[in-house]
Amino acid sequence: MKQKQEFYAESELRDAATRLEQERIRRCLDGHRPSQQALFEAYSSKMLGLCYRYTGGLQKAEELMQQGFVEAFSKIQLYRFQGHFQDWLSATMLSNIVRWAKADLAFEEYPEPVLAESYFEDIETDSGLHSSDIVEMIVSLPAAYRVVLNLYSIEGKHHEEIASLLRLEEHTIRNYYTRARMLMARLIAAKGRLHEIALETVTILK
């Protein structure tokens, strides 16, 4: 009985939070600044994290995040209250990130793949690393590699779609992705070895 009461209480809280957010979104349609600020405060941390994964630098990430929020508020009437607002906001932010990548990053053409993608099928990625470790590995990659890896592995976009977004040939995207996976595999392996050395050191000290 107590569990049911807790479940309904949590459900009511979620519903109330959803109604409050929807009311703030509606007020944003009229340019209501306090509502815009409330939405910014609710989502800025997650959106900054999204931008940081692509830029690899906090200053540029903050710049893109600010631009993304300005764009989102300017066309918030396009949000139809279907699906989560965070998903719509992330898509808006991502469009801004892609524009930055096309304008500022230098992509090169690679006519032949470096390695077959099947090379990576058996690589163990669940090595006890935290998500923050993975993010830091991603942001350490060269910019173009980082963008392609994010779009493919995290956003779930296909090579053809990424090629269209970045106005590049599909084989170029495949090569960047393959190279990015190769570098990530090396970073994960190195991190794993460091983790093993640390554990051995602790054992010796005991």
Give the span between the Cα atoms of 38 and 25, in whole angstroms. Answer: 10
Q: How high is the pLDDT of residue 119?
A: 39
> For 50-88, how does the pLDDT look when each residue is reduced to its tens digit (9 = 90+)?
999 999 999 999 999 999 999 999 999 999 998 899 999
Tokens of 27: 């007020």
Tokens of 125: 């990625």
List CB contacts of 40: < 8 A, sequence separation 6 or more. 69
Q: How high is the pLDDT of residue 29?
A: 92
Q: Which carries the bigger pLDDT value, residue 183 or residue 190?
A: 183
**DSSP annotation string for 101-136:** HHHH------SS-SS-GGGGTT----SS--HHHHHH
Q: How confident is the model at residue 107 (pLDDT cuts 50, 70, 90)?
A: confident
141 and 184 Cβ atoms separated by less than 8 Å: yes
| Burial group, residue 141, by CB count within 10 angstroms (0-12, 13-18, 19+) | buried
Q: How high is the pLDDT of residue 108?
A: 80
Q: How high is the pLDDT of residue 76?
A: 95
200 and 136 Cβ atoms separated by less than 8 Å: no
Would the pLDDT of 191 be above 90? Answer: no
